[in-house]
Amino acid sequence: MKLPPFALHVPRTLDEALALRAALGSDAKVLAGGQSLLPMMRYRMLRPYALIDITRVESLARLDTAPAVRMGAAVTHADVERCERAGALFDLLRAHAAEIAFLPVRSRGTVVGSLVHADPAGDWPLLLTALDATVELASLRGRRAVALRDFIRGAMDSDVQVDEIALAATLPERASGLVRWGRCKLMHRAGEFASASALALQGADGQWACWLGAIDPGPLALPATAARLPAAGGLLPPRRDIAASALDEILAARPHVDPLAASRHAQAMARAAEQAWQGVAA
């Protein structure tokens, strides 16, 4: 299907982009990778009269890796996949990026666009929530930073005001101390969105965090399941015990989730924990 008509603005500086964002109002949209916005326009779910393409603003294309990871709003999934920095955190970021769709989508779609879009099945909302990321936003009124856990308010609902542009997603420095990780993305077919998705992360303090994605309305922490994973040494509980613990937590926290789907999420959690325990990242 053809795109409906729109005016395209391609600012080269952030000041120019913010001025356009303020002037064009709520019927204009920011265009990042266009991998969610353009399909929605093709299907006439959205009809913005103007798009502000932010991908030519040089300062938004930066991917900083030290002292903390900061991904500018024009950083694509493929940029993360190509990042050469060593360490468990970067192995995890690369593996996560590499499993998003196919290369043409990864070469255009952006990490920050994915957070703003807030699709519950999106991969970045899960990982960056688990890593306690912050989103930086700017408008002509000033700048602010919001914890991603608050930024995503629900399915397809994020905290971006009509005159704002999200500038970057930043990880706390402690994320660089990640020791082990495991992830399991279940898909009906390779390259699709997740039908269930799980992460098990062990920080430098030995503590585990267990998270699920692709679950309405957004990422779900499983603290009781995380508490069952041994800090160091010891034995990992059997897969069925981890899955049973995860299932209890899912059904308690999200009683609306279909029991079969909940069971798939719980199995994904057990597999992620096993992968982390086997030290894939070590």
Ligand X SMILES: Cc1cc2nc3c(=O)[nH]c(=O)nc-3n(C[C@H](O)[C@H](O)[C@H](O)COP(=O)(O)OP(=O)(O)OC[C@H]3O[C@@H](n4cnc5c(N)ncnc54)[C@H](O)[C@@H]3O)c2cc1C
The footprint of ligand X (CB under 6 A) covers 29-37, 39, 54, 73, 100-101, 105, 109-110, 112-114, 116-117, 119, 122-124, 160, 165-166, 193
> Smallest distance, Å, CB 31 to ligand X?
5
- Kindly report the number of other CB atoms within 10 A of residue 68's CB atom: 15
Q: Report how far residue 230's alpha carbon sits from residue 63's, in angstroms, rounded to the nearest whole number.
A: 34
Q: Report how far residue 168's alpha carbon sits from residue 134's, in angstroms, rounded to the nearest whole number.
A: 8
| Residue (14 or 244) nearer to ligand X, CB | 14
Type of residue at 156: M
> Smallest distance, Å, CB 94 to ligand X?
15
| Residue (68 or 101) nearer to ligand X, CB | 101
> Smallest distance, Å, CB 163 to ligand X?
10
| Residue (54 or 200) nearer to ligand X, CB | 54
| Residue (52 or 226) nearer to ligand X, CB | 52
> Smallest distance, Å, CB 282 to ligand X?
26
> DSSP letters of 9-45?
E--SSHHHHHHHHHHH-TTEEEESS-TTHHHHHHTTS
CB 35 within 8 A of CB 108: yes
Residue facing ligand X at closest CB distance: 109
Give strand pairing partners of 52. 9, 30
